[in-house]
């Protein structure tokens, strides 16, 4: 059976965490484990999904604040319960292609109805931003953050924190920025709120693309920020 599984950028479980499962070279086969054949959707075994959009829904698009990795997997002796599958062993065949990722995000956005394509494009843009592929630059990130503050009509000062933030510190904030921007976009597309649907993308999305780890209020009229790890290093120090 062919299926799909989400891992973090560091190749860890998005739900269980822990060490990277493997080094990213495919094909790679997991160790064999006991696989529960009971009726529950959550039970021992290697878990995956039949389709990529369900894998994204369960595993998350940026579970640790970085864009997740979607993989094509192969399995035998599969137990399927509700929207989850599990097996005693998985083979990671390959990462999905850019085209497959875009198709998965588009399918993921089907509940948005008439705004499916617009929301999928916005999610894809946030996914590219949270991949942080540009080298971290304080000057560029500060310019992006000032653009974000201007878009929100906030006259705040910026304060850079030199220490590299831990995953536990930054993940809720950068993922939160994406969720906030997407929530505002949909509300405005639906006419529930007035204003530009893309307002909460301005500046902040570019800041993440250019190496921002996270930004959050750190005092009265003050936005604190820290830069991410180098582009070749994941949030847990793994490549």
If one counts the domains in the chain, the total is 2
Q: Considering the domain boundaries, does residue 235 fall inside one? A: no
Q: Considering the domain boundaries, does residue 187 fall inside one? A: yes
Predicted pLDDT of residue 236: 44
> Phi-psi region for residue 215, left (φ > 0), alpha (ψ -120 to 50) or beta?
beta
- Among residues 90, 54, 71, the alpha carbon closest in space to that of 9 is found at 71
Do 101 and 81 fall into the same domain?
A: yes
Question: Which of 52, 80, 108 is the C-terminal boundary of a domain?
Answer: 108
Locus of tokens 């929207």? 83
214: confidence class by pLDDT, cuts 50, 70, 90: confident
Q: Which domain holds residue 67?
A: 2-108
- Rounded to 10 degrees, the C-alpha dihedral 152/228/4/180 comes to -10
State pLDDT tens for residues 166-195: 555 555 566 788 999 999 999 999 999 999
Q: Considering the domain boundaries, does residue 61 fall inside one? A: yes
State pLDDT tens for residues 111-125: 999 999 999 999 999
Average pLDDT across the chain, whole number:
90
Rounded-to-integer distance, Cα 20 and Cα 239, Å? 10
Token duo for residue 138: 């304080």
What separation, in Å, do the N-terminal and C-terminal C-alpha atoms of the chain show? Answer: 29
Predicted pLDDT of residue 168: 56
- How many CA atoms does the CB half-sphere of 48 hold within 13 Å? 25
Q: Considering the domain boundaries, does residue 237 fall inside one? A: no
Do 75 and 117 fall into the same domain?
A: no
Rounded-to-integer distance, Cα 7 and Cα 117, Å? 25
Whether 137 and 235 have beta carbons less than 8 Å apart is answered as no
């Amino acid at each position: 059976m062919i299926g799909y599984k989400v891992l973090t950028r560091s190749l860890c479980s998005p739900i269980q965490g822990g060490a990277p499962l493997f080094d990213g070279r495919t094909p790679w086969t997991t160790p064999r484990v006991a696989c529960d054949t009971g009726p529950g959707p959550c039970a021992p075994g290697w878990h995956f999904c039949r389709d990529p959009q369900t894998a994204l829904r369960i595993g998350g698009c940026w579970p640790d604040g970085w864009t997740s990795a979607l993989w094509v997997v192969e399995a035998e002796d599969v137990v399927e319960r509700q929207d989850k599958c599990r097996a005693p062993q998985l083979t990671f065949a390959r990462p999905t292609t850019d085209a497959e990722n875009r198709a998965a995000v588009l399918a993921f956005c089907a509940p948005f109805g008439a705004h499916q394509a617009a929301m999928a494009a916005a999610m894809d843009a946030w996914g590219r931003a949270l991949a942080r592929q540009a080298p971290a630059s304080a000057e560029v990130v500060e310019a992006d953050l000032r653009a974000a503050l201007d878009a929100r009509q906030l006259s705040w000062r910026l304060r850079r924190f030199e220490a590299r933030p831990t995953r536990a510190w930054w993940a809720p904030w950068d993922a939160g920025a994406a969720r906030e921007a997407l929530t505002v976009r949909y509300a405005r597309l639906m006419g529930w709120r007035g204003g530009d649907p893309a307002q909460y993308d301005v500046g902040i999305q570019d800041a993440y693309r250019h190496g921002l780890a996270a930004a959050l209020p750190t005092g009265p009229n003050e936005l604190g920020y820290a830069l991410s790890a180098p582009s070749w290093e994941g949030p847990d120090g793994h490549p």
